[in-house]
Chain A
Amino acid sequence: MQAREIAPPKIKIQSPNPNVKCLTCKKKERNISRCVTCLTSDVNNLLKGLNRKELLEIADLKKINIPNNWSKQLIMQLLSLNITLDDIPTNKTKPVKTKKISDGAPIIVIKDLVKKFDDITAVNNLNLEIGEGELFSLLGPNGAGKTTTVNILTGIIQPTKGNAIIAGFDVTKNSSDVKKLIGVCPQEAAVFSFLNARENIELFGNLHSLSKKEIKERTERFLELLDLADASGRKAGSYSGGMLRKLNLIMALINDPKIAFLDEPTVGMDARARRKTWEFIGSLKGEKKTIILTTHYIEEAEALSDRVGIIDYGKLIEVGTPQELMEKYEAKNLEQVFLNITGRRILEGI
């Protein structure tokens, strides 16, 4: 069964049942909008812990941020019939006009990808498939080949060998089709310093041919979610590193991309801002976006990822869910997984 797109609730909803557990991390979690332990924003996952009466009570609260076309009555009816949110199809996702992506098929297929810069092999025979709606993290030290891989997938650079298919389009031959589907948050904040946050976001909205209304609505929502609304009228040149990072991220997501490439999105942020950004990225999972995250922050990869690919010297050396990898290498965390495989720590670099 396909996971359904449910926008995460904007407000916290306390479950009436104090014994509700998050089905992902098994921790007790009364806040059903999002598990604060594992950041799961899958509403249905948390709803599963409730009985029929409690479900009805929640529906009655009318606080779940459900798609607009779902009436309160419909929700109550469905819940009373024991039909969970997962079972309900939604038409909220903007249809991809160019090509239909078959259900269940991987949305990104990377085959024998090689990128050489003179005598340095930055990406070495990379093979990988990423499923639709998956949050996949590429984890590795600086210089491991994460950004180069993202640059190839987003059409910034051409591979030396091999190819990558995104949503059925070859990234080298059909890059214009790929660009309509993706949002890219580059490693270094790339914003116009003489424009304010709103103007920067608006520019990217216009480049993606969004309507004025769409741009305005999304800009307001994202600025609010990332605590940037108050500073949105100031020139980006006056922003702190963390604020620039947030703006960088919003500009990548303004087109509501089907696939988002987030290259080290939280580098340089303080702990609070990083936590906020993780929550924000976690909430995107609920919107059924495919997210490719590159990071060298262990906690980031562990907290957010469905699967992790460990990359070193341009080679993908291991792929799996964080849990699988930790079990396989009898490690407490992904840092230790990396250490067990390579004999080095991720933050030591290469």
Chain B
Amino acid sequence: MKLQALGALINVELKKLIRHPVNLFMNLLFPALLTIVFMFTFSDPELGMSINSVVPGLVVYAVIFLIMTVAQSFSSERKLLKRLKTTPMTSTEFIGSQIISNMITAIVQVVIVLVLAYLLGFKPESGFEGILLALPVTAIFALSSVGLGLITATISKNPEMGVGLSFLFILPQMFLGTFMPLTSSTQEIAKFVPSHYLFDALKSIFEGNWMNTNFFFDLVIISAVSVLIVIIGIVLFEKYGNT
């Protein structure tokens, strides 16, 4: 792998994050808006949702919306991908750049959500070290969003279809894997949703008891599932999506 090529591709992806209106809104402004709205409207103990459970959910929301931007971006840049294939760039460099840039984006999202939540009254029990721990855990989970985005792009004929289909993966994770109240049967289904484990892990971190809970189990599940999904995404997109 050539670092020069990898660095150049990451640079392009990060510029896209800032300069492309859809990416800027979905990846940076949307999490900020969501945080403000949810902190005001849903963090009410009477609704069964405390600030401590809302904030991990907001982080999860931000990261699962990466599925949409990855799907949209891969579906709309097929011509460019085709062109990049005529250069000495390898698949490893290209996919590596996507993974790294999306991990960086996820970290920025966590920071945005936590800073805003802090300003609106969120005080994590874990202190600063908990926040530091939340960053890599969320970045690992971002891999699954890249993978699901690639799977969505594979079956999408155009960017619009990519955005629409991405909700197939976003909605279940939003409703089953975060702070939404679940029945006993949906709780069982939630165990098959990756975001459930990120939510659980972040909750443990922010409550300051991650050493005494299922945190490490959650981390293993998050890592294994994310790696598996991203591998499936890469294989499917390479085989069927890049035409």
Contacts and interface: CB of A to CB of B under 8 A. Distances in A.
Given A190-B80, A192-B16, A203-B9, 13 more contacts: A155-B86, A182-B86, A186-B82, A190-B79, A192-B12, A194-B19, A199-B12, A202-B8, A203-B12, A206-B8, A207-B84, A207-B89, A209-B2
Contacts of B79: 186, 188, 190
B191 interface: no
A174 interface: no
Contact of A206 (B7, B15, B82, B85): B7
A184 interface: yes
B83 interface: yes
B5 interface: yes
Contacts of A195: 12, 15, 19
B59 to A, nearest CB: 27
Contacts of B12: 192, 195, 199, 203
Interface string A27-49: 00000000000000000000000
Contacts of A72: none
B185 interface: no
Nearest to A186: B83
A15 to B, nearest CB: 41
Interface in A145-193: 154-156, 176, 179-180, 182, 184, 186, 188, 190-192
Contacts of A188: 79
Nearest to B5: A207
13 contacts: A155-B86, A188-B79, A190-B79, A195-B12, A195-B15, A199-B12, A199-B15, A202-B8, A203-B12, A207-B9, A209-B4, A209-B88, A235-B19
A161 B11 CA distance: 39
A192 B88 CA distance: 18
A155 B91 CA distance: 14
Given A207-B8, A209-B2, A209-B5, A179 B87 contact: yes
Given A186-B79, A194-B20, A155 B85 contact: yes
Interface residues of B, number: 23
Contacts of B90: 176
A207 B91 CA distance: 12
B95 to A, nearest CB: 14
Count class of interface residues, chain A: 20 to 34
A329 interface: no
Contacts of B20: 194
Contacts of A209: 2, 4-5, 88
B8 A194 contact: no
B82 A190 contact: yes
Contacts of B86: 154-156, 179, 182, 184
B88 A207 contact: yes
Nearest to A151: B82
Interface in A194-223: 194-195, 199, 202-204, 206-209
Contact of A176 (B5, B19, B88): B88
A245 B127 CA distance: 54
Interface in B103-155: none
Closest 4 CB pairs of A and B: A206-B8, A194-B19, A184-B86, A190-B83
Nearest to B76: A193
A192 B11 CA distance: 12
Contact of A184 (B9, B16, B19, B83): B83
Among A154, A199, A207, max chain B CB count under 10 A is at A207
Contacts of B82: 156, 186, 190
Interface in A47-91: none
A176 B89 CA distance: 9
B106 to A, nearest CB: 21
Interface string A241-257: 00000000000000100
